[in-house]
Amino acid sequence: MGPTAQNLPEGGAVGKAATVEPTGSSELTLNSIARGNFRQVVGTAWSTVGGMEVRTVGGRYAIDGRLGEGTNGQVYRARHLQLGKAFALKVISPTIALDGAARARFNEEAKLASAISHPNIVSVVDFGEDAQIGAYMVMELVEGEPLINEQAAPMSVRRACDVLGQIADALDHIHRRGIIHGDVKAENIMLTAEATGARRRRIARLLDFGLARLSSGDGEEQLNGSPHYLAPERAAGAPPSVAADIYALGVLGYVMLTAALPFDGSVVEILMAHINRDVPGLAQRRGEAVEPAVEQLILRALSKDPAKRHGSAAAFRAELNAAMDALEQGQRQPSGPIPVAHRRDPTLVAAFERSRVAQALLSLDGDIVFANKSFARLVGIESRVEGLNVGQTTLANMVPGFARALRAAHDSGQPCERRARVFRGSDAPALELTLWFAPLGVPGLEVHLLVRVEDADPRRRDE
């Protein structure tokens, strides 16, 4: 079934770097299970693959060195001979290479994966069979940092939720195309930086689709994957599924929020714990309370019964969005008037004030820095609204995702839109609100909010 995890640190902590071992050793390193049966390897000659002298793979990739090794194969840094571009090239393990059915399934799934494009997924760009080394696949080489670094402490709730949302989006994308990842874990996620104007945002990238799942050849799926992330039904022998990926997503959230794995021990002990034991509370492992909406999200994903988990990655994402909105609202505190340290163009201020469209400039925390009279009338405040937090008005409560949209516009540097419908009773048509959030390059990093209000078209169905 695999090696034990008896060498894990106390409490199942994660984040310790894998030990670098001399080339040629077949022994897995300390913390190998927690690190996903993966070890960093150095010192391998650029032309050596699986003990053979290999100069090129598939006639077009030169091997520059080995990046790592897992239970399903070895990963090398490769260079396309014509393009000169670097890629990650995975050579499938001999166990799979000798199994014709497994090799055929690998080729079929690799072909499907190569057609997938998503910002949170590392793309498969090529695959094939080499006469000397057998089946291989080529993926884009991700230059970034691991999700969990050495001696990692629990992440902030906001950052953990951001990563979970991105990975949920990636899983939803592949699930809709009939692909089960089967190996979601912290070690299969890299963080890269993406620049948007003057801002930089961390992007979580999901690696290794688990395309080379082992098959015994008798029609039964062997137990594979990282034991610490394995759903109870998978530990009992059930095949990979959407529900199992959701469970692994819950474990991922648990790990990020507590810097510890839910269960520890030998592989058998871990698998039995997934089936029989309750997950230790997040507050117990984290050392402080976690927002109830976030904890409920994680524990639901970690339900023993697959039917009690989120029905899809999209459903997980929807509950996560609601939890993030609750988190944003809870962290806002009423504030006094905000002094404006810079002058605004009097002409623009006059146009802003005379506009019949409700407009305001909001800080990242939702404080109203500047607003026109139309905005004040919209939120039902006759006096000045500057200095108030938009969370203290009815507007934020009427528009689902308001806080998330405000932050998204700020973080991405791109405008976004939200819509809401407000019902006024049976004797009046509903109002339809359209909100535009546009970031501004002015001191204070303000976001420009415009709100259009119109009677809802009764012929238009609710989205």
Q: What is the DSSP string of 286-349?
A: HSS---HHHHHHHHHHT-SSGGGS-SSHHHHHHHHHHHHHHHHHHH-----PPPP-S---HHHH
Residues 6+ apart with CB under 8 A from 27: 21
What is the enclosing helix (H) or strand (E) of 190? strand 189-196
Output the CA torsion sign for 5, 171, 419, 445: positive
DSSP 24: T
Per-residue burial over 292-307, b = 16 or more CB atoms within 10 Å of its CB, e = otherwise:
ebbbebbbbbbbbebe
Rg (CA), the chain: 26
For residue 460, give the 3-state DSSP assignment: coil
For residue 385, give the 3-state DSSP assignment: coil
Report the distance separating Cα 462 and Cα 115, nearest Å.
33
Catalytic residue status for 183? yes
DSSP 12: G
Catalytically annotated residue among 162, 169, 172, 183:
183
Catalytic residues, which ones? 183
